[in-house]
Copies of this chain bind each other. A is one copy, B any other.
C-alpha cells in the first residue's frame, strides 16, 4: 500500500481543521471530535495529546474541558501538523529508498521527484487553517448529513 500521511497524521489534520472551522471560544472535547469525524475516541485523544505537547493546540482538563487552537489559525500551517506527527522524512529521504541519495549521487528520479516534492512542501507551507476554514465547514456539514 502506498501511503502519504500516516493514519495518525490524517486524523490529526482533520481534527485541527475541525477545531479551526468550529471557531469556538470554549474548548471542544475529544468525544465530539471522535464522533463528528468518525475517529476512534482513544486514538484521537492520544493524537491531540501529542499535538498539545507540540504546542499547536492547548488542552483544558476537567469538566467542560477539551481542546482548542494554541495560536491564531493564520499562524498554523499544515506543514506544522505534518511535521509534528509524521516528521519530515518524506521531504528528506530518497523516494526509491536508495542510500546516499543527494545532488552529487542522485537516484534516477532525484530531480523530477525533488521538484514534485518541493511543490508539495510549498503547498503545505502556504496552506494555513484560516485559509481552509470555509472548505472545511462545507465538508463537515456534508459528512454530518450522511
Q: Which of A3, A86, A105 has the largest number of chain B CB atoms within 10 A? A: A3
User: Copies per complex?
Assistant: 2
Interface string of A43-76 (1 = CB under 8 A from B): 0000000000000000000000000000000000
A89 touches B10 (CB 8 A): no
Question: With A and B bound together, what is the CA distance between A96 and B17 in angstroms?
Answer: 10
Interface string of A103-132 (1 = CB under 8 A from B): 001111110110010011001000100001
Q: Please give the distance in Å from A86's CB to the nearest CB on chain B.
A: 4
Number of chain A residues close to chain B: CB under 8 A: 46
Task: Kindly list chain B residues whose C-beta atoms are within 8 Å of the C-beta of A135.
Answer: 106-108, 110
B3 touches A90 (CB 8 A): yes
Tell me if A6 counts as interface (CB < 8 A to partner B): yes
Tell me if A25 counts as interface (CB < 8 A to partner B): no
Q: Give the interface of A toward B (CB within 8 A).
A: 1-7, 9-11, 13-14, 17, 38, 78, 82, 86-87, 89-90, 95-100, 105-110, 112-113, 116, 119-120, 123, 127, 132, 135-136, 139, 142-143, 146
